[in-house]
Amino acid sequence: MTFKNSQNKPNIVFILSDDQGAWAMGCAGNTEIKTPNLDRLATNGIRFENFFCTSPVCSPARASMLTGRIPSQHGVHDWIREGNTKDNPIEYLENQLTYVDLLAKSNYTCGISGKWHLGNSTLPQKGFTHWYVHESGGGPYYNAPMIRNGERIIEPEYITDAITNDALQFIDKNSKSDQPFYLSVHYTAPHSPWVGHHPQEYLDLYSDCTFDSCPIEENHPWMIKNPPGYQHSREKNLQGYYAAVSAMDMNIGRILDKLEQLGLSENTLVCFFGDNGMNMGHHGIWGKGNGTFPQNMYDTSVKVPAILSQPGRIPLGKVNDSLLSGYDFMPTILEYVGIENPISNELPGKSFNYILEDKEIEERESVVVFDEYGPVRMIRSKEWKYVHRYPYGPHELYDLVNDPDEKNNLIDVPQLNDIVSKMREQLDEWFFQFVDPAIDGAREPVYGNGQISLAGKKSKGKKSYATWDE
């Protein structure tokens, strides 16, 4: 393998989508959605079909990918509602070490284009020197408020295109450098709004689509008031959602083409993930973990798209079913590029680099994954899922072998009490090992309607979290 830099380390392009269900890719078996470039990426790498976010909402899931820590370690328990702008800046990860910090210390040039949504968007943070980010977390796809060179600008261009244009400029600029580069490309797509916000050419791809790939179900009894797209029809929402995915896919193709044109494909690790899952009618929900109250942990909320590719190093066209989580990414990326992780003994995740090297490790066969969203916690094996809600419930148990769509809650079946007890004990032990008691999500009043200050603290006399009554 020939490297384009003197460090003998691969470049890294980390692409993150926003509210994309793991089901919303052609390569994942969806025959209606058009994602030729994600399918192309999967053909040239490994697709992981059991990859989970650490929390089914954007900001905590993103913080966990960056830090390798669970929300009850880094303190981001909900999407960041306040503290993003320079009027009331809060740097939510101020005291947290990220893998980007370590890449920067190892001579990587680090840039981000797109969504940050972890507080104080005006200030470049965590090892990034190139900083073109959304001021908050999302919103209209045209005239989006963006931060460039520390100043707020209104981006008139379709934001998915604008994020890609900035990313391509970064790649061009750094392609001939002696230093390797790391680039985060964080799309706001396919997050709502969906109707009236996407170019007609992508909407036309689905003008005759029946959207059989999304179920039609009765509204979930816990569904929140005014979920995303509530004012529009199912067909209009799905047309916009699918169009947003296809527009993003086309732009991902532009990035892959750029790497090929510059001769960087074999020297660049391309990672594609979603931040959290998404229900587009699944379980009678429109939204993710906070599409219901109390919050939910359905697979459609917690399972995310995940593809890694570097031709010549990572096996081609493989699908891996190992249970993996966002907290496993930091250990993996650091091992992949040969950088020591000084806090490895503090982190819950384990490297899955052996999969990228096409090796088998028997000890990971019994792995379970954990999730949390405030007082809601989940433990999941390949066979069973247990959801525990502090302090009073309701709790859930699903037989994933016989009920993969999680339709039948078996928590009250007496014959399964032993399974519940064992999974509850394992869940308690794991969180006891890693939780910081000062910012324990099980003791924070997280409602799913936004975090407005640092965990455990109040901002200007207000609660730390917005409530559904506000």
Amino acid at 25: M
List, for residues 416-463, the tens digit of each pLDDT value.
Answer: 999 999 999 999 999 999 999 999 999 999 999 999 999 977 656 567
Among candidate residues 200, 220, 57, 219, the one with its CA nearest the CA of residue 138: 57
Contact (CB, 8 A) for 45 and 270: yes
Contact (CB, 8 A) for 417 and 310: no
Q: Could you tell me the two tokens for 424?
A: 């509850």
- Rounded to 5°, the CA angle 165-82-127 comes to 50
Among candidate residues 92, 63, 103, 57, the one with its CA nearest the CA of residue 78: 57
- Rounded to 5°, the CA angle 277-371-299 comes to 40
Give every residue of the chain whose pLDDT is below 50, as ranges.
Answer: 1, 469-470
Among candidate residues 194, 408, 402, 188, the one with its CA nearest the CA of residue 298: 408
- DSSP, collapsed to helix, strand or coil, labels residue 433 as helix
11-364: CATH topology is Alkaline Phosphatase, subunit A (3.40.720)
| Helix (H) or strand (E) run with residue 51 in it | strand 51-52
The pLDDT value recorded for residue 467 is 65
What are the distances in angstroms from CA 274 to CA 48, 82, 187, 250, 306?
12, 23, 10, 16, 7
Contact (CB, 8 A) for 397 and 414: no
Among candidate residues 172, 146, 168, the one with its CA nearest the CA of residue 157: 146
User: Cβ-count burial of 160 within 10 angstroms (0-12 exposed, 13-18 middle, 19+ buried)?
Assistant: buried
- Rounded to 5°, the CA angle 20-82-116 comes to 40
Question: CA Rg, the chain, in Å?
Answer: 21
The CATH-assigned architecture of domain 368-443 is 2-Layer Sandwich (3.30)
Q: Domain spans of the chain?
A: 11-364, 368-443
Report the distance separating Cα 159 and Cα 181, nearest Å. Answer: 23
Report the distance separating Cα 466 and Cα 470, nearest Å. Answer: 7
What are the backbone angles phi and psi of residue 50, rounded to the nearest 5°? -130, 55
DSSP 110-152: EEEEE---SS-TTS--TT-SEEEEESSS---SSSEEEEETTEE
Contact (CB, 8 A) for 110 and 182: yes
List, for residues 130-156, the tens digit of each pLDDT value.
Answer: 999 999 999 999 999 999 988 999 999
- Rounded to 5°, the CA angle 28-71-382 comes to 40
The pLDDT value recorded for residue 470 is 47
Q: Which residues contact 35 (CB under 8 A, 6 or more apart)?
A: 24, 25, 26, 27, 245, 246, 249
The pLDDT value recorded for residue 359 is 86
Among candidate residues 6, 10, 2, 14, the one with its CA nearest the CA of residue 270: 14
- Any idea what DSSP says for residue 303? B
Among candidate residues 428, 431, 430, 402, the one with its CA nearest the CA of residue 416: 402
- Reported residue count of the chain is 470
- For helices 36-43 and 234-261, the axis angle rounded to 10 degrees is 50
Report the distance separating Cα 56 and Cα 278, nearest Å. Answer: 9
